[in-house]
Structure 1
Amino acid sequence: MADLAAPRFLDSRTPPNVLTLTMIVAAGAMSMNVFLPSLPGMAEHFQTDYRLMQLSVALYLAVNAILQIIVGPISDMVGRRPVILWSFALFILATLGCILAPTVQVFLAFRMAQAVIVGGMAISRAAVRDMYPPDQAASMLGYVTMGMSIVPMLAPALGGVLDQAFGWKANFWLQAAMGAGVLWLVWRDMGETAMRREGGLRRQLHDYPELLLSRQFWGYCAAAAASAGAFFSYLGGAPFIGSVIYHMDPATMGFFFGAPSVGYLFGNWFSGRYSVRFGINRMVIIGATIATVALVMSLVLFHLGLGSQYVFFGFMIPLGLGNGILLPNANAGMLSVRPHLAGSAAGLGGAILIGGGAGLSALSGWLLTPDTGAFPLLWMMVISSTLSIVAITLVIRRQRRLGA
């Protein structure tokens, strides 16, 4: 951890304020889900099939994953600040491209380009690790993501209202405006947090095997990816569940769609409050258990014939609660395995998490039909969340063996 000065708000010579870090991540979260209630209307606008339109989620996540592998080592080499600034500048241009796209193919191309905002989301986590030791970093990540969870909680509902009032493009104008605001905030407030390393990009790539050969790193990655995989499955399938199976209008679906973020908010608060006291591993197992139990209960109710929109979306609240506890701690675990490669770890870990999420998001969209109902999606989410318990259990057992 670098010997950094205390943050002073709107002073670019000091590390960033927690508000700046929160807004960096919030802008990325908004880009991911604010337009989802508009997907049926966008499919009609571009005169294409809903399943093709739904690829705007999966393709975004796939490019997001690839970029994280690249931006992590670059941020270790040139610093966190320039990577985040360039990420937001390019994101604004890509968002304007989405607005002006004449065809669905052009739209999807610019939608993939929007994934460049991941440079801000991933590297902000590395900046937190630059500033704090492991358990405190987990606590700070909890507070940062607690603040940003308000945005994705409100974004789908706001997106649905904007869609009904002004059409689907209003959601992308909102993204462009927020991107510009965060770009200004980063320029004014975020000083460099990373220690420059000699050797350039070649040195970064040479050091990558330190992460690839670490079982502890892979264990935390697997726990985070499996737990988040349940949420990304939800991102891909929930718009279909709401609009086709339960016939919700965009505003209503947007309101229900934000259910996981309610739990995520409280999970982040719990993580920020108790991570230092309980430790990373215990917090991860608590979060994984809460999410998995909730999803199993939802699946059982559906099999008993008691399923409804209230059951489906209601049990997404404890899913968000579990993820809100698990993810800050699993991320802190990843970044602490090799602190001098925090940016690379953030990029590679994020790529694994988002890459798996892209696949599950696409798969959930293709498996769901009016005849299947919510069952394929719920089974995917239960299996994915259960694997997070398996992954963190293996990490804990290995650490106990090494400590013995």
Structure 2
Amino acid sequence: MARTPPHLITIILLTAFSPLSLNMFLPSLGHIAEDLQTDYALVSVAIAGYLATTAVIQLIAGPLADRFGRRPVLLVALVIFCISSFVCAMAENIWVFLFFRMLQGSITAGYTLSMAIVRDTHPPQQAAGLIGYISMCMAIAPMLGPVFGGLLDTAFGWRSNFYLYATCGVLILALCWVDLGETRPERQESDQPMTRAILALIQDPRFCAYAVCSTFTVGAFYIFLAGAPLVATTSFGVTTAELGFLIGSITVGFSAGGFLAGKFSSRISLPAMMLIGRLTACTGLSIGLLVFLVGGSSPFAFFAGTIFVGIGNGITMPGSNTGAMSVRPDLAGSAAGLVGALALAGGAALTSLAGIAVGTGDQPVTVLALMLASSAVGLAAAFAALLLERSAGTGPQASH
């Protein structure tokens, strides 16, 4: 099969638009509830339900892309997103809005399959480097999305966010139609049903090591999102304006880590890169935790420690995601979808745990300890991946 990889800008747009679809409209939640004459709790299902839906979509999109190809699955997903965005913009009923908001989750196929496309068209270590640079760029989207969405809501109302979603979706669809050729490699085996493909992956210890590392690496970030705002306001008394900058610091760290991963991935193995990232995160958190345990208490000590989580995650994730997709290159789409779904499920569980734990005891210590525990599990999984690759006699970097 001829490989016609898309240009880098296409991959970046596909990956960056997924977090924008989650958070750009967040400042409008109150106005949506008021306009559709419902309560805020029901409107917030547009977030929690969306996350659950995207986990399912990733599980489905990956195997479908392995079976039918990256291009058709992506194009269908984008069409669904465009239609759903337009209906959300026109909705006069909360149930219509929520139903099509869930269908908007189809855009996450753009992120999942972009990772598979990068793996299809590059050897593992080159793929990890490229994913690192892509991650560096896409980290900007979650920082700017709510700001831009809030400005749109103020100027034109909440529906303008969804009209913009639909417009951007059409533009990205047109770009993919022109630029995105099929990259799925020739299958060496007969096409497998989705359940058999997933079983083949989870029965491989190497895939499990990479997937666990990714899940708990992302989990530390979700714990931060759940606990850091409360810690900053109640323990340190920072203003809401300052809070935005402090929370954004971990994303800046992630961009820096992605840059480092892109720069040095060609020189070190994927498991080694994962270990470096996990050690970076654990070291920063350990120092921050120690400061609080000996009696120190300052927002600088807290957020300086969590910045290292962002840096470590940016270094780790390209290696763990690429490693998971490289265990079975013929199932790269399934692997990308399964890792993404596990990260969302793990993130939801750890967010709930953090929300409960932060309500009791010393809040900064609790958040840092939970983040350290999650990062430590990721470190153990990275070490397991290194041992498994060595025992297999070849790392994932050897296969294309």
Q: Bin the TM-score by the shorter chain.
A: 0.7 to 0.9
> Which residue in 1 is equivalent to 2:217?
227
Which of 280, 297, 303 matches 1:306?
Answer: 297
1:211 aligns with 2:204: no
> What is the CA deviation profile of residues 146-205 of structure 1, one whole-angstrom value per residue up to 9, with x for unaligned ones?
222222233244345445555555544443333233222211211111135498765554
Q: What's 2:65 paired with? A: 75
Say if 1:224 and 1:353, in contact at 8 Å, map to a contact too: yes
Give the conservation status (yes or no) of the 8 Å contact 1:287–1:326.
Answer: yes
Question: Unaligned stretches of 5+ in structure 2?
Answer: 395-400
Q: Please say if residues 88 and 179 of structure 1, whose CA atoms lie closer than 8 Å, have aligned partners that are also in contact.
A: yes
- Quick check: 1:240–1:365 contact (8 Å CA) kept in 2? no
Aligned residue in 1 for 2:171: 181
Gapped runs of 5+ residues in structure 1?
Answer: 5-13
Percent of pairs identical after alignment?
A: 38
Distance in 1 separating the partners of 2:159 and 2:367? 28
TM-score by length of 1: 0.83
Contact 1:227 1:323 in 2 (8 A): yes
Aligned residues: 391
Match of 2:276 in 1: 286
Question: What displacement does 1:95 show?
Answer: 3.0
Bigger mean CA deviation after superposition, 290-299 or 216-225:
290-299
Residue of structure 1 equivalent to 2:5: 15
| C-alpha contact (below 8 Å) 1:286/1:322 kept by paired residues | yes
8 Å Cα contact 1:157-1:254 kept in structure 2: no
**Would the alpha carbon gap of residues 296 and 270 (structure 1) be closer, same or farther in structure 2, given more than 3 Å must change?**
same
2:151 paired with 1:131: no
Gap change, CA 1:105 and 1:297, over 3 Å in 2: farther
**Structure 1's 114 and 273: CA in aligned 2 closer, same or farther, altered over 3 A?**
same
Aligned equivalents of 1:165 and 1:315: distance in 2?
Answer: 38
User: 2: distance between equivalents of 1:315 and 1:168?
Assistant: 36
Contact 1:58-1:359 at 8 Å conserved across structures: no
| Structure 1 range deviating more: 380-389 or 394-403 | 394-403
Q: Do the aligned partners of residues 17 and 164 (structure 1) sit closer, same or farther apart at CA in structure 2, a change above 3 Å counting?
A: same
Amino acid at match of 1:182: I
State the match for 2:335 in structure 1. Answer: 345
Matched with 1:29 is 19
Cα distance in structure 1, aligned partners of 2:226 and 2:101: 15
Is the CA contact (8 Å cut-off) linking 1:96 and 1:176 kept in structure 2?
A: yes
Residue 370 of structure 1: how far off its partner (Å): 10
How far the C-alpha of 1:314 sits from its partner, in A, is 4.9
How far off its partner does 1:280 sit?
0.6
Matched, 1:260 2:256: no
The aligned counterpart of 1:11 is none
Deviation at 1:352, TM superposition (A): 1.2
Q: Which residue of 2 aligns with 1:270?
A: 260
- Tell me which residue corresponds to 1:148: 138
Q: Structure 1 residues 166 and 373, CA, compared in 2 at 3 Å: closer, same or farther?
A: farther
CA distance, structure 1, for counterparts of residue 356 and residue 168 of structure 2: 32
**79 and 102 in structure 1: CA distance in 2 versus 1, 3 angstrom threshold:** same
Equivalent residues of 1:155, 1:258 under 8 A apart: no
CA 289–106 in structure 1, closer or farther in 2 if over 3 Å, else same? farther
- Tell me, in whole angstroms, the C-alpha distance in 1 between the residues paired with 2:90 and 2:287: 44
Which of these residues, 323, 344, 347, is aligned with residue 354 of structure 1? 344
AA aligned to 2:297 is L
* Cα pair 1:76 1:196 within 8 Å, conserved: no
Q: Which moved more, 1:167-176 or 1:349-358?
A: 167-176
Once the two structures are TM-superposed, the CA of residue 400 in structure 1 deviates from its matched residue by: 3.2
| RMSD across aligned positions (CA) | 3.4
Cα distance change on mapping 1:48 and 1:204 into 2, 3 Å: closer
Q: Distance in 1 between matches of 2:39 and 2:232?
A: 19
Counterpart pick for 1:328 among 318, 323, 326: 318
Task: Give CA-to-partner distance per residue, 1:211-264, whole Å, 9 cap, x none.
Answer: 122100000000011001112233445566667885755x76544443222112
Q: 1:104 to 1:319 in 2, by over 3 A?
A: farther
Q: Distance in 2 between matches of 1:178 and 1:275?
A: 32
In the TM superposition, what is the alpha-carbon distance from 1:91 to its structure 2 partner?
1.9
d(CA) in 2 for partners of 1:72, 1:160: 33
Q: TM-score, normalised by structure 2?
A: 0.84
